[in-house]
Amino acid sequence: MTSPTRMTLAEARDALAARKISAKELVEAHIAAVEAARPLNAFTFETPEKALEMAEASDARLAKGEAGPLEGIPLGIKDLFCTRDVPSTAASRILENFRPRYESTVTANLWRDGAVLLGKLNMDEFAMGSSNMTSAYGGVENPWRAKGSDKKLVAGGSSGGSAAAVAARCVLGATGTDTGGSIRQPASFTGIVGMKPTYGRCSRWGVIAFASSLDQAGPMARSVRDCAILLRSMAGHDPLDSTSIEQPVPDFEKALTGDIRGLKVGIPKEYRVEGMSEELERLWRQGSNWLQAAGAEIVEISLPHTSYALPTYYIIASAEASSNLARYDGVRYGLRVEGATLEEMYDATRGAGFGHEVKRRILIGTYVLSAGYYDAYYNKARKVRTLIARDFRQAFEKVDVILTPTTPTAAFPMGEKMDDPIAMYLNDVFTVPASLAGQPAISLPAGLSAEGLPLGLQLIGRAFDEETVLRAAGVLEEAAQFSAEPAFIAAA
Amino acid sequence: MSLIEGETGKWEVVIGLEVHAQVISKAKLFSGASTAFGAAPNTQVSLVDAAMPGMLPVLNRECVAQAVRTGLGLKAKINLTSVFERKNYFYPDLPQGYQISQFQQPIVGEGVLTIDLPDGSTKDIGIERLHLEQDAGKSLHDQDPRHTFVDLNRAGVALMEIVSKPDIRSAEEAGAYIRKLRSILRYLGTCDGNMEEGSLRCDVNLSVRRPGEPLGTRTETKNVNSIRFVQQAIEYEARRQIEVLESGGTVEQETRLFDSRKGESRPLRSKEEAHDYRYFPDPDLLPLVLEQSFVDELAAALPELPDEKKRRFMDSYGLSAYDAGVLVAEQANADFYEAVLAGGKRDPKLAANWVTVNYFGALNASGLDLDDAPVDAKKLGGLLDLIADGTLSSRLAKEVFEAMWESGKDAATIVEEKGLKQITDEGAIEALVDKVIADNPAQVEQYAGGENPKVLGWFVGQVMKASQGKANPGAVNQILRRKLGG
């Protein structure tokens, strides 16, 4: 049998069902892997005791034949999800030691289906970042290294801890959240699969808010199938989230038929951005060829407002964030730094509690919503957002799925781009449009750069048609045969 | 139009009112926490109300229905699509750091409210809009010398902000406006209108101008929480602005805070210091879209409102505008009156008179409510029946009513016990008349001189006295005339 940490989630699930391994054995192996991977700084809080308790309960249910779809599967949870009695901090000082007395809907769904919590995963503070360098806990190290280099690389962000933990074989899967690319970009940087479902597919209740109209939880794992399995458990209508949509949750795994004959795949010409590297263009063309070889029809399409997506995104996301983060005021929970007056207490608390990037976004957001600037920025951005959504709507009249690269580059060294927010924001240029339009999108590893680092391709689908996205991704995955491994693997 | 005389001539006062009315609902606007008044601090606070990380608002349908009912009651346009926005500002009793309110697209648009003035006339005051919003919590500054305490029980409770057009011209009209609005809200059951408990609060926007000139600069006086205070605040602010203008100054656009102990207001913040609330659509909530059928169902179930009821009381019962107005001001009073009428079998004018004068007078004097009054509608009706069939004169009826109020017994029992029944037996009255005539020959002489009505009145009085007030005055009069007049 494969080593427990080397299995995919689907393999582990089958091994558990066949009683080839106990949940306790599986979880113990992963607890050891989490410990071994500490240098990566992927976890903000480990929960080995809780994991063992949950594993024992899983074994009992497995013995009774009452196993859930994720019974005994050890997972990591991004620290943006509130988990009952377990620190949930959004990787921010302002929520230092915050232990909620409630469980987010998405994680509650996972525990309902038998999954096991290994710990909370590092991330960019309040999910604001593309490198995981803005975390109050420090950056997450990418388990990959460039060929012949010892330079530490970023794991991407904001779900960098999730991506690194999955890639280093610490967990069988992880939750991420994606606001403008926060699942897909780190997935691409670490050679794993990450999916942002349709906005409204997963409940946001209990997920610490960054930008409410964009935030969406999604799965991160080592295969398309694993993501399909996780998404089925995570998704579902939640009356506690008014933006969660009442839609049946299909058995996503069943969508992986491998048959995409007749599927129309769009290649948006606007994604061929200036300065795109030769190798990335080649990979993109390769992806399109693979799909064509499997019977898909390739169609050149136009998404004319693509170039406006990035500024639009940074205005809307920052505006919402400036308001969403107002509740961290030192009054009721989290950090409080005393001051002589109320104003001084606010200033001191928020000054000490928030990091630079969070402050930058609060300032941008406050500015774009201010009287006199509202129409020029926020309102204009909202209008452009509807145009971007219309681009996709029109494109999906012609095609079933859209293929693009996930990121303009492979993972970059830790500490780079830190003094150049614009260069940092450019990481999201391919992922942001689908976020603004609410479309489901997946990133999967499709090849290696010349430096030997993973590069991802992105598939974008129609709203609530994750099945087609997953089916096409399954075919790409099969064709790409991505088998390269990172330099660091937690346990052999 | 009421004008104020200044040092240099007449001034017109222009007033608009913003009324915050707490919606009657079991749960808060966006959470399931209870809204009951008077609970121990911070015992009615959900995770949403405390703005815990990751918590989301879910709109309470009942609050929406209440707002629509109120809009219908104000004859206003119901907007089938409305949008909740965030009003951003920091304060410890505002846990989210923003208030969820409606700004550009409120649930209710323009309407009208007809106010009743003391001279019996009416005036239409335009309604600009009504929107739904969350209340804030309560800051308690007097619990500790160094700290402010916060009670979040009220945080998130649904309010309707009802904004009038600047159609009000005097403190008197403002009082009439609030009274009428409160009456309508109570009829609809959408707000209990209790100003002492803060379920109805008022901000006053006021400016002054020379008649016929454009609008002056307005100020907003906040936190005026009784009708008397609203009127005080208006008088104060109108005088203040006139004095400023007449002494050559200019009125600053500012927000003022009313101090009810001094009956004055003081500046809170100027236009420059005004908050930039950075309103934007709340991304946690979808636009609120109502079906026309939902509105129609609410409209069909609306109760008869004060204006319609007043009109009906005047048309069907022949009441004066004044009496009808008094009776319909509170729904309970109108219901009581109609219960006394018992389906119209009693004289409506007699009943109106008894209810508004004697009955309400007794209620006021005893400080009781309709619910715990010793005389109910049925007993009062019984008394009216005894008046109608001649058993009691109106003077006797008042005596009986007092006894009823004392004892709680019905009218017939009291008449029986006290032997207060009116004497209508002609023979008995004749005997009394004969005796009075026989005892007073001088007066008989006087009367015979020319059927002197004064003298006749004197005789009636004597006979009534002799009967201890029980003789039917009409019969006494008739018999006296016959016997004296010859």
pLDDT tens, position by position, A118-177:
999 999 999 999 999 999 999 999 999 999 999 999 999 999 999 999 999 999 999 999
- The predicted structure's pLDDT at residue A372: 92
Q: Which of A96-110, B233-247, B442-456 shows the lowest mean pLDDT across its residues?
A: B442-456
> Do residues A202 and A106 lie in contact, with contact meaning Cβ atoms separated by under 8 Å?
yes
- The predicted structure's pLDDT at residue B1: 53
pLDDT at B463 over 90: no
In the block, residue with structure tokens 């004018």:
B349
pLDDT at A359 over 80: yes
Residue B193 φ/ψ region, left for φ over 0, alpha for ψ in the -120 to 50 degree band, beta for the rest? left
Mean pLDDT throughout A35-50? Answer: 98
CB atoms A326 and B96 under 8 Å: yes
Of residues A82, A346, A371, nearest to B54 (C-beta): A82
Residue A318 annotated among the catalytic residues of the structure: no
> Which residue of B277, B278, B282 to mutate against A (max A Cβ within 10 Å)?
B278
For A440-466, the pLDDT digits (tens) are 999 999 999 999 999 999 999 999 999
Q: What are φ and ψ of residue B248, in 5° steps?
A: 85, 5
> Which residue of B31, B47, B48, B52 to mutate against A (max A Cβ within 10 Å)?
B52
Q: What is the band of B335 on the pLDDT scale with cuts at 50, 70, 90?
A: very high
Residue A182 annotated among the catalytic residues of the structure: yes
Residue window 278-337, chain B: list those with CB within 8 Å of chain A: 278-280, 282-286
- The predicted structure's pLDDT at residue B119: 83
pLDDT at A25 over 60: yes
Q: How many CB pairs under 8 A join A and B?
A: 94
What is the DSSP code string of A266-322? EEEGGGS-TT--HHHHHHHHHHHHHHHHTTPEEEEE--TTGGGHHHHHHHHHHHHHH
B166 and B186: one domain? yes
Which chain B residues contact residue A96 at CB under 8 A?
none
pLDDT at B347 over 80: yes
CB atoms B51 and A239 under 8 Å: no
Report the b/e string of A186-201 with b at 16+ CB within 10 A.
bbbbbbbbbbbbbbbb
How far apart (Å, rounded) are the C-alpha atoms in residues A232 and A234?
Answer: 6
CB atoms B56 and A240 under 8 Å: yes
- Which residue is closest to A320 within chain B, CA to CA? B283
> What residues of A are in the B interface, CB distance below 8 Å?
81-82, 88, 90, 95, 98, 100, 102, 104, 204-209, 211-213, 239-243, 319-320, 322-323, 325-327, 329, 331-333, 342, 346, 366, 369-371, 374, 378
Asked which of B265, B298, B331 is the last residue of a domain, the reply is B298
> Do residues B136 and B94 lie in contact, with contact meaning Cβ atoms separated by under 8 Å?
yes
Mean pLDDT throughout B65-88? Answer: 98
- The predicted structure's pLDDT at residue A484: 96
CB atoms B280 and A319 under 8 Å: yes
B247 and B378: one domain? no
pLDDT at A492 over 70: no
Q: B334 vs B345, which has greater pLDDT?
A: B334
pLDDT at B480 over 90: no
- The predicted structure's pLDDT at residue A339: 94
B154 and B274: one domain? yes
How far apart (Å, rounded) are the C-alpha atoms in residues B396 and B360?
Answer: 19
- The predicted structure's pLDDT at residue B414: 86
pLDDT at A181 over 80: yes
Q: What is the band of B118 on the pLDDT scale with cuts at 50, 70, 90?
A: confident
Which chain A residues contact residue B284 at CB under 8 A?
209, 212, 242-243
For A393-418, the pLDDT digits (tens) are 999 999 999 999 999 999 999 998 88
Q: Which CATH superfamily is domain A4-261+446-454+475-480 in?
A: Amidase signature (AS) domain (3.90.1300.10)
Q: Which of B16-20, B366-370, B386-390 shows the lowest mean pLDDT across its residues?
A: B386-390
Which chain A residues contact residue B90 at CB under 8 A?
326, 329, 346
- The predicted structure's pLDDT at residue B182: 96
Range of the domain at B54: 3-298
pLDDT at A480 over 90: yes
- The predicted structure's pLDDT at residue B459: 86
- The predicted structure's pLDDT at residue B427: 82
Q: What are φ and ψ of residue B462, in 5° steps?
A: -65, -40
- The predicted structure's pLDDT at residue B446: 81
How far apart (Å, rounded) are the C-alpha atoms in residues B292 and B265?
Answer: 44
CB atoms A323 and B55 under 8 Å: no
Which stretches of B209-341 are DSSP H helices?
Answer: 227-246, 292-300, 306-317, 321-328, 331-341
Number of structural domains chain B divides into? 3
Which chain B residues contact residue A371 at CB under 8 A?
276, 278
B22 and B42: one domain? yes
Q: State what percent of residues in chain B have pLDDT above 90.
A: 70
Adjacency order of strands within the sheet including A43-46: A43-46, A116-121, A74-78, A173-178, A216-221, A193-196, A441-448, A454-461, A401-405, A264-268, A297-301
- The predicted structure's pLDDT at residue B345: 80
Choosing from A104, A182, A188, A223, the catalytic residue is A182
Which chain B residues contact residue A82 at CB under 8 A?
53-54
- The predicted structure's pLDDT at residue B468: 79
Q: What is the band of A70 on the pLDDT scale with cuts at 50, 70, 90?
A: very high
Asked which of B249, B266, B298 is the last residue of a domain, the reply is B298
CB atoms B95 and A346 under 8 Å: no
Q: What is the mean pLDDT of chain A?
A: 96
Q: A227 vs B321, which has greater pLDDT?
A: A227
Q: What is this model's ipTM?
A: 0.96
- The predicted structure's pLDDT at residue B287: 97
For B265-306, the pLDDT digits (tens) are 999 888 777 889 999 999 999 999 999 999 999 999 999 999
Q: State what percent of residues in chain A have pLDDT above 70.
A: 99
pLDDT at B450 over 70: no
Choosing from A130, A158, A159, A233, the catalytic residue is A158
Of residues A102, A331, A366, nearest to B278 (C-beta): A366
Q: How many CB atoms lie within 10 A of CB A290?
A: 19
Q: Identify the three-state secondary structure at position B172.
A: helix
CB atoms B53 and A346 under 8 Å: no
CB atoms B54 and A208 under 8 Å: yes
Q: What is the band of B19 on the pLDDT scale with cuts at 50, 70, 90?
A: very high
Q: What is the band of A1 on the pLDDT scale with cuts at 50, 70, 90?
A: low
For A256-293, the pLDDT digits (tens) are 999 999 999 999 999 998 878 899 999 999 999 999 99
Residue ranges covered by each domain of chain A: 4-261+446-454+475-480
Mean pLDDT throughout B376-401? Answer: 88
Which chain A residues contact residue B151 at CB under 8 A?
none
- The predicted structure's pLDDT at residue A288: 98
Choosing from A78, A120, A196, A417, the catalytic residue is A78
For A227-240, the pLDDT digits (tens) are 999 999 999 999 99
B260 and B332: one domain? no
B357 and B274: one domain? no
How far apart (Å, rounded) are the C-alpha atoms in residues B411 and B398?
Answer: 11
pLDDT at A389 over 90: yes
Q: What is the band of B424 on the pLDDT scale with cuts at 50, 70, 90?
A: confident
- The predicted structure's pLDDT at residue B415: 84
CB atoms A100 and B50 under 8 Å: no
pLDDT at A112 over 60: yes
Q: What is the band of B449 on the pLDDT scale with cuts at 50, 70, 90?
A: low
- The predicted structure's pLDDT at residue B457: 83
> Does B353 touch chain A if contact means CB atoms closer than 8 Å?
no
B254 and B387: one domain? no
Of residues A95, A242, A329, nearest to B53 (C-beta): A95
- The predicted structure's pLDDT at residue A22: 98
